[in-house]
Amino acid sequence: MADLRGAAQLVEHLAPLLFHARTTSVVVGGAVLGAPVADDIKVLAEDPALTAEIVASDTDVFWVDRSLSDVDSIVAVPVAGGGATTFYACPGDGVSTISSMALDSGYLYWVESLDPGRNETSYVKRMRVTGGAVEPVLVRRGRIKRIVVRSPLLYSVDESSARATSLSDGTEITLGPVLDSSQGPAIGADSRAIYWLGASRFTQTIMMAPTTSSPAVALSIRESAVTAMGVGGPSLYWVEYGGPNRESSVFAMDRRGGKPSRVFESILLVASASYGDALIAADDDGAFWMVEGSGPFNDGVIYHGARSTPPEVVVSGIGGPGGLALAGDWLVFTDMAQGLVVRVPR
């Protein structure tokens, strides 16, 4: 890990460019966006091998470091700032990758895949956020693509189905089939329901189930790949990937169903599942997403938008795509081009 003192010096130059107040406005290209101000932005860490995989609690931020050794590790830093430390490192007995992470009040969970390919095996493990011993949660042949934890259950999607696993006794319930795709499928949950992109022979449909014993409800048929979901307040948000040469979109819908609204659309929207499952972060007011820069300068931006309000820029000057997470009063993101973990006010 790089010296954090260097990151502190770097932020002095980035702060006037990066943070935009959500309470002021400026017109850019006909759209009303946030006006730039220097505010409480902080570079938490520099890591040239970081990925878009990031999760955060009110006190700590965790991200995946993907070095050239084919062995991933998880790095942690306090939200308030301080030294970054290696929280966990894969054993190194093969090509080990961490494809998804999740948090509950006491544990960090992650999916660790060994020898990706035909003989791939996925392991879900956990460790207390304060450190300690690694605890096994489940083992599955094939690839587990996404996990979400809402105790007492861990939800997952693999190459064929969405499932719920009891954290107390390991009992597993299949929620429904999914489409095996390099672009998803996505899964999301909060304390009231679980959402996932289900599949039948001819269609893909966003599904919802209040509990594992409740019948799943079809909310919206989708034609494009849904690569990320976020649940915030009364709304469900998701990212649809249009492809490498087509526009991708952010949609919002009442969490109980209804007609989806296209909140944002751009060919530069960071929407590919190859960046991980932290493409969108939702709160009670709306959702955050990232747009890549289109020129030689660091001009990527982060937007915030909702069903009833137009999108506004909250961060600009980002060097490259990354992941997003909410940490109490903060939005935290990774900038993969510049190798930065950055905190800004929500």
pLDDT in tens, 248-298: 999 999 998 999 999 999 999 999 888 878 999 998 889 999 998 876 555
What is the reported pLDDT for 26? 35
- Taking residues 203-226, what's their average pLDDT? 90
- Taking residues 132-138, what's their average pLDDT? 96
- Total number of domains in the chain: 1
Q: What is the span of the domain harbouring residue 334?
A: 4-345
* Confidence category of residue 219, pLDDT binned at 50, 70, 90: very high
What is the reported pLDDT for 180? 78
Query: pLDDT, tens digit, for every residue of 79-133?
Result: 999 999 999 999 876 667 898 999 999 999 999 987 666 678 899 999 999 999 9
- Taking residues 49-59, what's their average pLDDT? 95
Alpha-carbon distance values, 344 to 18, 23, 26, 57, 288 (Å): 9, 15, 20, 14, 12
Measure the CA–CA gap between 318 and 48, rounded to whole angstroms: 15
Query: pLDDT, tens digit, for every residue of 151-208?
Result: 999 999 998 999 999 999 999 999 999 987 767 778 999 888 999 999 877 789 999 9
- CATH number of the domain at 219, please: 2.120.10.30
- Name the average pLDDT for the chain: 85
Check pLDDT > 50 for residue 30. Answer: no
Check pLDDT > 60 for residue 49. Answer: yes
Question: Is pTM beyond 0.85 here?
Answer: yes
Q: Which of 188, 191, 174 is nearest to 226 (CA)?
A: 188
Alpha-carbon distance values, 276 to 53, 138, 186, 203, 311 (Å): 6, 21, 10, 24, 23
* Confidence category of residue 299, pLDDT binned at 50, 70, 90: low
- Taking residues 214-221, what's their average pLDDT? 92
